[in-house]
Amino acid sequence: MPSISKKIFYLACMKQRIDQSTWERKEHYAFFSKFDEPIYGVTVPVDCTKAYQTAKEKGVSFFMYYLYRALQAFNAIENFRLRIYEGEVYLYDVTHASTTMLREDKTFGFTYIDYHPDEQVFLEGALSEIARVKANSGLELRDVEPNMVQCSALPWLDFTGLSHARSFSRIDSCPKISFGKLVDEAGAKRMNISIHVHHGLVDGYHIGLFVEKFQQLLDGVA
């Protein structure tokens, strides 16, 4: 478990309200927020050849290896730290992960994993949280700040598209990312990822920035 001193990073997490009157996205946000479905998504492949090799050399779970780098990429791009909360738009200092975790009985629970810039601290906290959820039952729902990225892994499926179950009775602005099956192709390893976002906060340009950054981190060049 991370020490109390290391947890100060999480406790210091803050959010800043966006002044929509001067916000460069005010018209975009106002336009897409009126939609019944402002959430859109794309599915793209990423090359995991180098990342998979490095994870195995380090003795680290490949899931943990790419999840950490996905959070690094999300946190590096401001638009992915924007959330709608109680009718206002906020920019969070940091975003964390809520992931589904499969248990032995094939049910799943939700884990809540803090991002930390120190990868070892992140791994310690993540493994502790995963062990806790696997030892319990039910969904493990919690009331948390919306500065989460909702993550899921579908290692059984090489999907080329994906949709999400959603409640239209509440505003949902958390980005969602799903990781597909690791596939061998001509000596390389490829994995499709699906990213869903609120169009009032995130455009295709920002998704492109994320995919570029995530690929660089997987390749160990960022």
The residues carrying an active-site annotation are 199
> Can you tell me whether residue 69 is helix, strand or coil?
helix
Cβ pair 12, 147 in contact under 8 A: no
Cβ–Cβ < 8 Å for 113, 144: no
CA atoms within 13 A on the CB side of 165: 1
Q: Which two tokens stand for residue 117?
A: 């810039």
Q: Tokens for 220? A: 């160990």
Nearby residues of 218 by Cβ (< 8 Å), 6 or more positions away = 46, 47, 48, 50, 51, 66, 69
Q: How many Å from the N-terminal Cα to the C-terminal Cα in the chain?
A: 27
- Give 193's strand partners: 44, 179
| 77-90: burial string, b at 16+ Cβ within 10 Å, e else | bebbbbbbeeeebb
